[in-house]
Structure 1
Amino acid sequence: MNNRAGSFIWNLRQFTALAPTSRTVRLYPLELCRSKIVYSNGSPRNFLNHFDDQMQSSIRSLFQDALFFKSGNDSQTKGVGAVTALRLSRLLCPRRLSFDSKQSPVCDDGLKKINFHHEASNEVVHTKETKPTPVSWRKLSQECNSLSDVLDTFSAAPTFPSSNYFSAMWTIAKRMSEDQKRFEKQLMFNHPAFTQLCEHMMREAKIMYYDHVLFGLHAIVKLGIPQNTLLVQTLLRVVQERINECDEKCLSVLSTVLEAMEPCKNMDVLRAGLRILVDQQIWKIERVFTLQTVMRSIGKDAPISLKRKLEMKAVRELDRFSVSNSQHMFEVLAAMDHRSVALLNECSKTVVGNIHGCPIKILINIVQSCRDLRYHNLDLFNGIADYVAATFDICKLKHVLFLLVLFENLAFRHAALMDLFMKKVVDEPGFLNMKSLVSVLHVYSSLNHVCGPHTQEFLNVMASALTGYLYHISSENLLDAVCSFCLMNHFPLAPLHQLLQQDLIDELLRSDNKERNIRKLHSLAACLKLDDVPYQKAVDLVLPLSPSPLLYPNVKVAEVLSSLLGKGYFSENVQLPHNYHIDFEIRMDSNRSQVLPLSDVTVVTPATDMQRLAILCVPRSTYCLDLTHPRGFLAMKMRHLKAMGFHVILVNNWEMEKLEMKDAVTFLKSEIYSTEAPSTADVNFQSSC
């Protein structure tokens, strides 16, 4: 009896959806509509008694009016600009959607226009004995070999629900190559049954299970049916008004659909509805996969309170995280733009502990997410770099290069991996194209990594490769490449000669990146003057003044120097030639045993009896991530200060702020009066590791 009662209620729901009704529509927040249905004949029982008489007239009325979608742009990826719905007297769909006999549900500029020819005589009410047996999408995808085969099966004996046919076509399409998929999609759009299937999908959307609607919408979007078509927008509206039917499975599918679609008005409303729904059901989510799918789709502009709730839920589920869950958590947090250190730290441990066998593409995604989230974890980066170095021979060079570029963005330098890549460049320079050449030069110069037995060979190979592209490379890429060589204290003559042509410099000064180019050209001019360059030493570049750097007061260091040396024994914010600036300058005798007053320095001979000290107060960003290796620009500046006769002392801002005054005085005193071997300032950083 229970089965019969359930069957009767299900059939009654479908019949009710087809009943001629008048409706009172009440608008709720987020434009989600709930409608109060008033039956014309008093009750569903009367509808059942007169169903046969009313069926044909209801079908005819389906095409009497139309729901028009007017897009603000003809682009297939744009959303719906305005929606106008005409009032109908008789409807098949409770949503009051109907279609003109000449209006296609998938009509778009990029598709052939398909007309509906719908006759009431073709509609048959199937009884229990004659109704075709429903076919699952999984069985369809196994039995059919192409999208057209699925449509042929549908046209032979249509079954409910129509979403199964779309899901089957998307499953088949995923097995195809890109070229075959493109060809099959075109055949699908031109198939005579395609329009009929779209029509069935729109008519059945109100009465099929909610998860079927979502699966069908997801397949439709993935199959490339334009988003601004009547079919897609109709399904979006149905999904909106039935969003309260979402269970955990539907929540996952809905999140996937939102992630796959472009923004439009209906999408914005649906995303807002999803956020409210997630906020209400967040503690009921049981599967980690569903939680991560929801987190990925809520958007970067979601309320911070919702992001924190999702973070708390994920932290509670950490014990249930699989290795795959931990690997994908980085992308999930980057997609919602939420930096959760607790989650990232725990997932990093899992990734490092289970890194063997992990595809390099997943590792790249993890590092890319760390960059987007501004998350620095030395153990994680070392673990990934060690694994890639161990499997270097089976990795594609483009993947390794992309990983090195990401590491450079994070200021992380892994010497072993960079040495392996350097040797590969020397052995097989043919893989370098123009774009990868500029990237490799930028990575190695920025991280100041030019060391080992292959250093000179590497630089020569890179210079030779750049020379081969001189007639194809843009002026800005050439400037970037030459400046990278300058940071590494290497000066290839042919690229230098090409760059210093007056017409090319004028082009750089007219560029949209004028200020950036001016700074780079000033650095180049400083190198030509101060370094041992086998080029025209007398060359003078006439350049506009570079923008003055922002000066940050170093109050604590000034107080320490005043306490240690006294007033008049040091200079602050000293501007030097070649656009260089130092924070403090101290002048001492040649033995560095006595500080000279600034008023007395003119009576001594600077070349023999005086040592000039430059104190540079530097932030973390001037070092690589291990905080012991200076990056390219700082290393070049120290090299040039040495050429100008300075001894350089580096003061780390973040460490100085932590020291008590007594300890800070002791530290600077030991650095200023040091008589030991030259400090790091006297080492050529272009050859240090």
Structure 2
Amino acid sequence: QLLGSASVESTMSNRAGSFLWNLRQFSALSPTSRTVRPNPLGFCRPEIVYSNWSPRNHPSNDFASKTQSPIRYLFQDASVFKPGDDVFQTKGISPVTALPVNRFLCPRRLSFDSKQSPVPEDGSKKMRFHHEASDEDVLTRETKPTPVNFKKLSQGNSLSDVLDAFASAPSFPSSNYFSAMWTIAKRMSDDQRRFEKQLMFSHPAFTQLCEHMMREAKIMYCDHLLFSLYAIVRLGIPQNTLLVQTLLRVVQERINECDERCLSVLSIILEAMEPCKNVDVLRSGLRILVDQQIWKIERVFTLQAVMKSIGKDAPISLKKKLEMKALRELHRFSVLNSQRMFEVLAAMDHRSDVLLDECSKMVIGNINGCPLKILINILQSCRDLRYRNLYLFKGIADYVATTFDVWKLRQVLFVLILFENLAFRHTDLMDLFMKKVVDERGFLNMKSIVSILHVYASLNHLHGGPAREEWFLDAMGAALTGYLHHISSENLLNAVCSFCLMNHFPLAPINQLLQKDIIDELLMSDNKERNIYKLQILAACLKLDDVPCHKAVDLVLPSLPPAPLYPNAKVAEVLSSLLGEGYFLENVQLPHNHHIDFEIRMDSNRSEVLPLSDANVVTSATDIQRVAVLCVPRSTYCLDLTHPRGFLATKMRHLKVMGFHVILVNNWEMEKLEMKEAVTFLKSQIYSTESPPTADVNFQSTC
């Protein structure tokens, strides 16, 4: 009996201990109310506050999955927007409660961290979100699925119609509402879209829709998640809101679920977003995923979208892989793919000459009917990539010149500005533009005047005879004079400097520029060195060119630091071999801030080189010819490498006024020549009676 009594007592004690242990575990597994407070950095961290809980609200079969499923926190008042002139501000986030989302309610395929899907393959068990008028949002499976009809929603006429439909009967998934709103917004004009967006942000159901979107982000299909994020970004919802940042974090967690279609959507999203921590992390994840799946990508559009979004700071090895993949798919490129490839490579800052050359052929072969916007994008990309293709540029310029009357003058001017950046000069197109500007002077405003003068001065283009040149420059001078009361000091300096490079000196703009307060303002600006350099050009032109009405002007300018001297060792060696020591000077600094690489002194017929000692004795004699040898890089020529650009042409003009005969030596050609060939070349240049190629303005300037 004692043994039996002890056994019963022990059994009761064990059961009591087991009951207490189970009760502690039961309490630990109970859902808790989570008060969410934003920290100073704007991110939300949950603060655990235990609340009343009833077993009826929590399925008993969820105890095992409680320790396996991650808990998602649901936020109320996630984004509160205040409309005003299309600028929206976010307010503070109020503390709310959130319930755990049970994974077995998930209607999508499992994430990469799931073990098995509790949802039958036939989809017989589905769920919907049911919103009740209470302080808590509860997920329920008791109602039958009533999926929202995206096609019907997108047929609406306003964004408010979609929000009204959501308010009347919220349905799963919320992504369809955002996608429908963006589909409707795409059909609107810019002004109507701006007005509709203001109504959207002030609609009472918009905040509720944002809450549903954040709640459902973890459990909806990956492509629905990405399409909804894309729509949210395109609708203009600020990137720093909790809604957008939450979706970015969820996409980070589920990036391994992305197939090829999702990759293209994710790439387009990242391309449209500003840099931030979550965007940077997501872009890094995209790079890793692309590196693993690059050879499985089948669509050219997806490949180009990925290339465009990985960023300029992506590893060079990844850029090379993408380039190889694009070359393998080159035979499948459409005309649109070829046109887009320039922008894609510029976005990733990777120049592939082979790929660009092939795409250039496709672009020029199908250029008829091509919108000018696409051609401008191609030229901008060529500029960013430092890609020079004379065949491509000539084809685009010929097309624009042929269809010149179709385009607006400001569009053609933008093309000419890009051509100037690429050092390309197309005479027919520039002549057409000169004539059109003179005929339609009403097109000229202050900004276009400065741009036109810069383009024509930089490319050293005054073509078509002295009469047409004088006509064009007078028209530009008169237009600039009309804006003297509104033009800034730096724009005035840029315009006058361009006139000086073209050997034209309009009186009113120069007189205003030479005022003391204007000069002082230019010398105190952030671009002080550049302004001093241009003022020195102006001073040299006023002294050396035929400008009698400005001869008495004397500009006192601070000196600039000496320009770095580039050694021309090979040219010096060739001159020593050809002429001998003591027959030439190296690195000669001349008045008016001009510098020449080598100076040689010859007789007046240029048949004999004089020793410097003999030439110095009779320097003032008329039978001495001074020869300036200029070693010039490619950048001083236009792209055809025969036409000098504005600064070189002006320097050659001034050296001639100072009594020099100018010889141009191309650095890149000299480096290719053997010593014997280089001696032969310089000998022919020194003793030649022909003048070097130049395009000086020969007509007489007027004041």
Which residue of 2 is the match for residue 451 of structure 1? 463
> What is the DSSP-based 3-state SS (H/G/I as helix, E as strand, rest coil) of the residue aligned with 1:65?
strand
Q: Does 1:564 align with 2:603?
A: no
- Taking the aligned partners of 2:337 and 2:691, their CA distance within structure 1 comes to 50
Q: Relative to structure 1, is the Cα distance of residues 352 and 613 closer, same or farther in structure 2, using a 3 angstrom cutoff?
A: same
Q: Does 1:170 align with 2:170?
A: no
Q: Does 1:139 align with 2:181?
A: no
- Taking the aligned partners of 1:340 and 1:679, their CA distance within structure 2 comes to 36
Which residue of 2 is the match for residue 316 of structure 1? 328
- 2:34–2:46 contact (8 Å) kept in structure 1: no
Superposition pairs of residues 223-234 of structure 1, within 5 angstroms: 223-234=235-246
- 2:90–2:241 contact (8 Å) kept in structure 1: no
Return the offset for 1:585.
Answer: 0.8
Q: Does 1:621 align with 2:640?
A: no
What is the identity, as a one-letter code, of the residue corresponding to 2:45? T
Q: Which blocks of at least 5 consecutive residues in structure 1 are unaligned? A: 1-39, 42-53, 73-79
Aligned to 1:329, which of 311, 319, 341? 341
Superposition pairs of residues 26-105 of structure 1, within 5 angstroms: 64-70=33-39, 72=41, 82-86=43-47, 96-99=71-74, 103-105=77-79
Return the offset for 1:605.
Answer: 6.1
Q: Does 1:426 align with 2:438?
A: yes
> What is the DSSP-based 3-state SS (H/G/I as helix, E as strand, rest coil) of the residue aligned with 2:642?
coil
Q: Does 1:548 align with 2:562?
A: yes
Q: Relative to structure 1, is the Cα distance of residues 299 and 605 closer, same or farther in structure 2, using a 3 angstrom cutoff?
A: closer
What is the identity, as a one-letter code, of the residue corresponding to 1:140? L
Q: Does 1:660 align with 2:674?
A: yes
Q: Relative to structure 1, is the Cα distance of residues 595 and 678 closer, same or farther in structure 2, using a 3 angstrom cutoff?
A: same
- 1:202–1:231 contact (8 Å) kept in structure 2: yes
The one-character-per-residue Cα deviations of 1:106-161 (angstroms, maximum 9, x if unpaired) are: 46772578988952798684657x4324312x33212x110011111222232221
Which residue of 2 is the match for residue 24 of structure 1? none
- 1:635–1:686 contact (8 Å) kept in structure 2: no
- 1:132–1:158 contact (8 Å) kept in structure 2: no
Which residue of 1 is the match for residue 107 of structure 2? none
- 1:515–1:547 contact (8 Å) kept in structure 2: no
Return the offset for 1:466.
Answer: 0.7
- Taking the aligned partners of 2:375 and 2:277, their CA distance within structure 1 comes to 36
Which residue of 2 is the match for residue 155 of structure 1? 167
Which residue of 1 is the match for residue 229 of structure 2? 217
- Taking the aligned partners of 2:605 and 2:34, their CA distance within structure 1 comes to 98
- Taking the aligned partners of 1:408 and 1:68, their CA distance within structure 2 comes to 56
Superposition pairs of residues 29-428 of structure 1, within 5 angstroms: 64-70=33-39, 72=41, 82-86=43-47, 96-99=71-74, 103-106=77-80, 110=89, 119=134, 125=140, 130-136=144-150, 138-142=151-155, 144-428=156-440
Which residue of 2 is the match for residue 647 of structure 1? 661
Return the offset for 1:339.
Answer: 1.0
What is the identity, as a one-letter code, of the residue corresponding to 1:499? L
Q: Relative to structure 1, is the Cα distance of residues 470 and 127 closer, same or farther in structure 2, using a 3 angstrom cutoff?
A: same
- Taking the aligned partners of 1:87 and 1:274, their CA distance within structure 2 comes to 34
Return the offset for 1:234.
Answer: 1.6
- 1:311–1:340 contact (8 Å) kept in structure 2: yes
Aligned to 2:526, which of 512, 516, 522? 512
Return the offset for 1:535.
Answer: 1.6
What is the identity, as a one-letter code, of the residue corresponding to 1:104? A
- Taking the aligned partners of 1:68 and 1:328, their CA distance within structure 2 comes to 46
Return the offset for 1:554.
Answer: 0.8
Q: Relative to structure 1, is the Cα distance of residues 296 and 198 closer, same or farther in structure 2, using a 3 angstrom cutoff?
A: same
- 2:308–2:347 contact (8 Å) kept in structure 1: yes
Q: Relative to structure 1, is the Cα distance of residues 190 and 603 closer, same or farther in structure 2, using a 3 angstrom cutoff?
A: closer
Which residue of 1 is the match for residue 6 of structure 2? none
Q: TM-score, normalised by structure 2?
A: 0.84
- 2:629–2:662 contact (8 Å) kept in structure 1: yes
Which residue of 2 is the match for residue 45 of structure 1? none
- 1:554–1:617 contact (8 Å) kept in structure 2: yes
Q: TM-score, normalised by structure 1?
A: 0.85
The one-character-per-residue Cα deviations of 1:561-589 (angstroms, maximum 9, x if unpaired) are: 11111111111111111111111111111
Superposition pairs of residues 669-688 of structure 1, within 5 angstroms: 669-675=683-689, 677-680=690-693, 684=696
The one-character-per-residue Cα deviations of 1:482-517 (angstroms, maximum 9, x if unpaired) are: 010000000001111111112211111111111111
Q: Relative to structure 1, is the Cα distance of residues 112 and 586 closer, same or farther in structure 2, using a 3 angstrom cutoff?
A: closer
What is the identity, as a one-letter code, of the residue corresponding to 1:320? R
What is the identity, as a one-letter code, of the residue corresponding to 2:474? N
The one-character-per-residue Cα deviations of 1:286-313 (angstroms, maximum 9, x if unpaired) are: 0000011111111111111111111111
- 2:37–2:93 contact (8 Å) kept in structure 1: no
Q: Relative to structure 1, is the Cα distance of residues 249 and 497 closer, same or farther in structure 2, using a 3 angstrom cutoff?
A: same
Return the offset for 1:87.
Answer: 5.1
Worse overlay, 342-351 or 540-549: 540-549
> What is the DSSP-based 3-state SS (H/G/I as helix, E as strand, rest coil) of the residue aligned with 2:350?
coil
Return the offset for 1:332.
Answer: 0.6
What is the identity, as a one-letter code, of the residue corresponding to 2:563? P
Q: Relative to structure 1, is the Cα distance of residues 70 and 395 closer, same or farther in structure 2, using a 3 angstrom cutoff?
A: farther
- Taking the aligned partners of 1:492 and 1:191, their CA distance within structure 2 comes to 60
- 1:106–1:230 contact (8 Å) kept in structure 2: no
- Taking the aligned partners of 1:305 and 1:333, their CA distance within structure 2 comes to 15
- Taking the aligned partners of 1:598 and 1:213, their CA distance within structure 2 comes to 81
> Identical aligned pairs, as a percentage?
73
Which residue of 1 is the match for residue 606 of structure 2? 592
> What is the DSSP-based 3-state SS (H/G/I as helix, E as strand, rest coil) of the residue aligned with 2:154?
helix
Aligned residues: 616
- Taking the aligned partners of 2:692 and 2:245, their CA distance within structure 1 comes to 69
Q: Does 1:485 align with 2:499?
A: yes
Q: Relative to structure 1, is the Cα distance of residues 241 and 679 closer, same or farther in structure 2, using a 3 angstrom cutoff?
A: closer
> What is the DSSP-based 3-state SS (H/G/I as helix, E as strand, rest coil) of the residue aligned with 2:625?
strand
- Taking the aligned partners of 1:361 and 1:213, their CA distance within structure 2 comes to 32
What is the identity, as a one-letter code, of the residue corresponding to 2:641? L
> What is the DSSP-based 3-state SS (H/G/I as helix, E as strand, rest coil) of the residue aligned with 1:608?
coil
- 2:148–2:176 contact (8 Å) kept in structure 1: no
- Taking the aligned partners of 1:595 and 1:565, their CA distance within structure 2 comes to 8
Q: Relative to structure 1, is the Cα distance of residues 205 and 610 closer, same or farther in structure 2, using a 3 angstrom cutoff?
A: same
What is the identity, as a one-letter code, of the residue corresponding to 1:323? V
- Taking the aligned partners of 2:48 and 2:287, their CA distance within structure 1 comes to 31
- 1:66–1:100 contact (8 Å) kept in structure 2: no
- Taking the aligned partners of 1:119 and 1:132, their CA distance within structure 2 comes to 22
> What is the DSSP-based 3-state SS (H/G/I as helix, E as strand, rest coil) of the residue aligned with 2:463?
coil
> What is the DSSP-based 3-state SS (H/G/I as helix, E as strand, rest coil) of the residue aligned with 1:388?
helix
Return the offset for 1:346.
Answer: 0.9
What is the identity, as a one-letter code, of the residue corresponding to 2:379? V
Q: Does 1:608 align with 2:627?
A: no
Return the offset for 1:179.
Answer: 1.9
Which residue of 1 is the match for residue 17 of structure 2? none
